[in-house]
Structure 1
Amino acid sequence: MLSKDPKRALVLSGGGGRGAYHVGVLRFLEDHEWYPDVVVGTSIGAVNGAALASGHTAHSLWALWRKLRTKDVQKPNWNPFTAVSLLDTAPLRHTLLNKGWVDFERINSAEEAAVHLRITATEITTGQLHIFSNSLNNKTDITIEHILSSCSIPLIYPHTNLGEVPFWDGAVVANTPLSAAIAAGAEEIIVVVMTPVRGASGSLPTNLYEAASMTLEWALLSSFQADLKMFDLINSLASIRDEFDKLQAAYPNIVNQYMQDMSNFVGATIKQDYKHLEMPIIVCPEDFIPVEQIVSYSEEWHEKLYRMGYEDMKNAWRANGRSVEGE
């Protein structure tokens, strides 16, 4: 059943075949009895998020990932003259619908959905990021098309239409849509990013492939860094509001008249209800994960990424001052 007062949010970034990393994070959180009320997902994060909203646990989701192979997700587009993408995602549609990944009746039921779900996708013709939600206050009936639209990596996979509107992967605009978790009202946020956020630096690229890979990684990270700056801005505004409240208590008539004059000047009511936000716990790898894993799904890499996600979540948990079971 959907929580009426969601406080905990889990933000799952895009990353294609690297999505087993999310599951390792989930396993650690479940081991420590931390369960999200809201899950925000982009691309493969939308797939894992929809699975969680369908009632999957880290254990059952890991069982699905261990069996997932490249042929279950994509196939080549054989005609280079008519194809608008290198690969076709018809196998992913079949996998999600027929192999136990998602239950759309449950996702779209306020009584049965396990979490509030937010899926993001980018409208191709405008560049606008759309957020699709199963929450009653902003509800969309989530379908397979919403998940596929969030996974539609430009040039690699075909775009997906929602009605008459064409969409690409949400990562085109925001690979880690932290702002959607804030808008959902979450006060405790864990963000899973598949690019090193701090401390790591790649070596200078030595060929075209390495240059393209590094460009992609930094581009995917840039919108998240902007969202982190938004946290600082909101907290600064909240601090100003605290001081403003003291002035208003001391000089109510003067301050109220000032606010009215300012609202008249700007032509809108000035927002005064900013509140302090706790900085999110950020989970990320220490080093770059090979970019080719975005379109590759193998048992060997699933195992590596699952273990990596678990250990990175443990380190982030510990760094946040929380106790780790068994230590």
Structure 2
Amino acid sequence: MRHVVCLQGRNNFIGKMKGMFYRKLILGIAALMACVPLASANGNEDGMAARRPKVALVLCGGGAKGAAHIGVLKVLEEAKVPIDMIVGTSIGGLVGGIYAMGYTAVEIDSIVAGCDWKYLLSDNTYSRRDESFSGKMFDSRYLLKIPFYSMNPDVKDSPVSRLPAGLISGQNVLNLLSGISMGYQERMDFSNLPIPFACVAADLSTGEQVVLDKGELPFCMRATMAIPGVFAPVEMDGKVLVDGGIINNFPVDVAKSMGADIIIGVDIKNDYPGAENLKSMPQVLAQMIALMGNDRYQKNLRQVDILIKPDVSEYGTYSFNKPAIEQLTINGYVAAKEKYAQLEELALKLNTLSLGEKDQNQVKATELVRDTFCFKSVAINGVAKKNEHWLRRLSGLKPNIKLTGADINRGISILMGTRAFSSVTYTVQGSGTDDERLVVNIVNGPTNVLALGARFDSEEAAGILVHLGVNEYGLLGSKAGFTGRLSYNPYGEFDYSFTSKDFPKVEFKYKIGGMDMNIYKSTENQNNLSFVYQSGEINLSNIYLRNFNFMLGARFEHYDFSRYLKHNIPDNYQEYAIKDSSYESYYFKGEMDTRDDSYYAMDGMYFEVDGTVWQTDFRSGFKSFGSVRLMLQGALGIGERFAVLPHFYGRVIIGDCTEIPFINYIGGSEPGRYFRQQLPFIGINYANPAYNAVMIGRLDLRQRIGSNHYIYGMVNYMRDASSLDQVFSENGRGLWGVGLKYSLNTPVGPVSFNVHWSDYEHRFGAYVSLGHYF
């Protein structure tokens, strides 16, 4: 009974407080109406009417927590609260800007639900298929890529100043905003939106607040959420703009200066997180930004008439994942529902009054993907005039042809896939008229790159790969690079190439390395090889083809064998040519890669074919031989988690080849580990010699568990013989191998472990690897 009385007392107290709030709010509205002159009967059909107070919706910044704003907007619509202006910072500026363009809360919820946050919060292309072929191969090898601008000897600046201004240019976010703001992309006064709007940014060059209430709407929304160090700043009208949260994360005072009488504020700021929640760089950065504007935040908080504070305690600035976004939207809805009585009371009072101003523009923005265009012109700004036509052809963004919104997004992604630009964005001018024009704005990015790869596996232990590329990301012209591998089998490689838009790429390479390897027969180590090799080559290849690569070249190679321990050699290779030798060769290579991921593909195929002719023994008698090699790796996704992965590998030697560097080898999990022609075979760990004609068929079944865990079942079968026509005859040899593999997709690359068995070794084996293969 005592608890009941206490509860009743508490409820009475809350009821009195609510009553006091209502009386104060209603008295405030009445006072405001009394202070406003009555309208002239000549100017109002209904006679004398009072102007109602203006209501501002103020949305706080907070990264992913801003999904709660969507839930709040749903309740405001249910309560029919009139919103006369919207002011926001960071994510509040994004959500508020979209709402100000005429989208409903349900439509915004749908837009956000369809976002690929991994893509948006990066500078990646929309699809791996939009990358250049060379870019795909580069990414599959390196863990870290640090682009940097060329050092100018005439300018005394530090190397640090040559680095990009942010980890992410933010162009994918900007293009999303451009895509949903059709009709409002061009420069304008934001008071002419369906709901007047402003957002807050900070000028890094002066440290001052910048209220963005006019300009190009997508760029302004992008500027308000440019988190320093994460997103590159936006340069606008001589200012360097970053996230307004570092100065004014809850801009109630801005709304007041715009004429707001009543403030509905949505606060998504976390309470102080405590030391246990400040262990990562994103957590520390988010807290630093929160502290910068804390005094202003507290002052603005006291000016809010109706404060809605969703529960965001379990989430952070970077909680950009689907479950978190969905729950935050729900939490925003629940928090606003708790204030529903106040909101409804306010709406009833205000909706009986008139603003006494001209009606707002009610033309809602449209989404790019819902439209079809035929542009009178397509301009590409930021590049040399001589390259415009070529880039239009490359991207498919041409005038006077039918283009869908998807075509435009794909074209932008293809331009980013060249790696030559740090940002590719667009605007549609003259939207909705007969004179629609597409303007693509390009910002040239850093052309040089320092790339690092790291790897461990149970066969060669640890390895580090370092690459320095000069003009690596340059669109055209000369490029040079050095690659060095520090490992049990090290090498160094220098390459120079010249790229032209009208001719194939010309490339020169020189490589020197050392190799120490064992050759096995079944479970026995038969031979130990130790040698130094050098090669020089020149080739012609295509450039900027996305899914194909063709190469024609000549190569000179020399091998110095420093050690060769020979035991029981298989009958088919009793006459190994073990001697220091030089070889010249001519080769053709064709590749196709349409996979959606290089390691965990759910769709697409990698195919490679090459043919080579070698010549040797120039002094003691001319000798030549050749080979043809095929490799296919496919992926067929069934549902979202299961994939069937067929593989085929084959190589045929043509002519008399007994040279150790060029005979057939099988074994291992990766193709080309010791020699380019080595074919993988599950069940055999190390390099094993095979006959002249080899064919391997393999089928993997892969199941994803959770977000990043993968289980594989693997089976392969090999046939080999001394010639191609005997592979499937009784003179051919057949081998089976099976395996189970677990793989974890991590930020440092795949972590994998497999166990396997084959009827070649007749025992179980295991293999462990960590990192990208190189």
Show the counterpart of 1:225: 298
Amino acid at match of 2:172: P
Distance 1:149 1:321 in 2: 31
Match of 2:74 in 1: 27
CA distance in 2 between counterparts of 1:299 and 1:141 reads: 32
The CA distance in 2 between the partners of 1:290 and 1:50, in whole Å, is: 23
**In 2: Cα distance, 1:124 partner to 1:50 partner:** 23
Hey, what's the Cα distance between the residues in 1 that align with 2:194 and 2:297? 26
Change (3 A) 1:158 1:227: same
Q: Does 1:288 align with 2:368?
A: no
Residues 313 and 149 (structure 1), Cα distance of their counterparts in 2 relative to 1, 3 Å cut: same
Q: Contact (CA 8 Å) 2:61, 2:269: kept in 1 or not? A: no
Residue 127 of structure 1 is aligned with which of 207, 211, 218?
Answer: 207
The answer on whether the counterparts of 2:311 and 2:332 sit within 8 Å (CA) in structure 1 is no
Distance 1:155 1:105, change over 3 A: closer
Answer 1 or 2: which has greater strand percent: 2
Within 5 Å, give how 1:8-27 maps onto structure 2: 8-27=55-74
Query: For 1:52, what is the secondary structure of its paired residue?
Result: helix
**5+ residue gaps in structure 1?**
134-139, 232-278
Partner of 1:298: 321
The secondary structure found in structure 2 opposite 1:147 is helix
Q: TM-score, normalised by structure 1?
A: 0.70
Aligned counterparts, 1:80-91, within 5 A = 82-91=163-172
Name the one with the larger helix percent: 1
Q: Which moved more, 1:143-152 or 1:21-30?
A: 143-152
Report deviation, 1:18: 2.4
- Give the CA deviation at 1:189: 1.1
Pairs within 5 Å for 1:160-309: 160-196=234-270, 202-205=273-276, 208-209=279-280, 212=284, 214=287, 216-219=289-292, 221-229=294-302, 231=303, 279-291=304-316, 294-309=317-332
Structure 1: which amino acid aligns with 2:108?
L
CA–CA distance in 1 between the matches of 2:187 and 2:73?
19
The whole-number CA distance in structure 1 between the counterparts of 2:212 and 2:113 is: 28
Give the counterpart letter for 2:247 in structure 1. V
SS where residue 229 of structure 2 aligns? coil
Cα distance 1:181–1:206, how it changes in 2: closer, same or farther (>3 A)? closer
Per-residue deviation, residues 265-300 of structure 1 (Å, max 9, x unmatched):
xxxxxxxxxxxxxx4211113452422xx3343221
Residue identity opposite 2:174 in structure 1? R
Q: 1:221/1:192 Cα in 2 relative to 1: closer, same or farther (>3 Å)? A: farther
In structure 2, how many angstroms separate the alpha carbons of the residues matched to 1:217 and 1:289?
17
Unaligned runs of 5+ in 2: 1-50, 125-144, 149-162, 347-774
Code of the aligned partner of 1:310: Y
Counterpart for residue 316 of structure 1:
339
> What per-residue deviation string (whole Å, max 9, x for no partner) do you get for residues 223-272 of structure 1?
2212245x4xxxxxxxxxxxxxxxxxxxxxxxxxxxxxxxxxxxxxxxxx
Q: Which amino acid aligns with 1:149?
A: A
Structure 1 position 148 matched with structure 2 position 225: no
CA deviations 1:136-174 (Å, max 9, x no partner) are xxxx23332212111110011111100322111111100
Preserved contact between residue 6 and residue 37 of structure 1 (Cα < 8 Å): no
CA change 1:322–1:108 in 2 (3 A) is same
Amino acid at match of 2:305: P
2:207 corresponds to which letter in structure 1?
A: G
Indicate the residue corresponding to 2:486 in structure 1. Answer: none
What is the CA-CA distance between 1:48 and the residue it aligns to? 1.4
Q: Tell me what 1:96 maps to.
A: 177
Q: RCO higher in 1 or 2 (8 Å CA, sep ≥ 6)?
A: 1
Instruction: Indicate conservation of the 8 Å contact 2:166/2:231, yes or no.
Output: yes
Q: Alignment partner of 1:282: what SS?
A: strand
1:114 aligns with 2:194: yes
- Looking at structure 1, the residues matched to 200 and 224 of structure 2 have their Cα atoms a distance apart, in angstroms, of 6
Structure 1 CA distance for aligned equivalents of residues 278 and 215 of structure 2: 45
Secondary structure at 1:156 match in 2: strand
Structure 1 residues 301 and 165, CA, compared in 2 at 3 Å: closer, same or farther?
same
Indicate the structure (1 or 2) with the bigger Cα radius of gyration.
Answer: 2
Change in CA separation of 1:149 and 1:110 when aligned onto 2, cut-off 3 Å: closer
Q: Give the whole-Å Cα distance in 2 for the aligned partners of 1:122 and 1:201.
A: 23
Give 2:105's aligned residue.
58
The answer (yes or no) to whether the contact 2:93–2:224 under 8 Å persists in 1 is yes
Q: CA RMSD, aligned part only?
A: 3.1
- Letter aligned with residue 329 of structure 2: Y
Give the 3 Å change call, closer, same or farther, for CA 61–178 of structure 1 in structure 2: same
Distance 1:225 1:125, change over 3 A: same
Give 1:216 shift.
4.8
SS in 2 for 1:185: coil
1:186–1:167 CA distance, 2 compared to 1 (3 A): same
Corresponding letter in the other structure for 2:268: M
| Post-superposition CA distance 1:41-75 (Å, at most 9, x none) | 11111111221221101111111011112134221
Question: How many corresponding residue pairs?
Answer: 260
| Residues 22, 309 of structure 1: 8 Å contact kept | yes
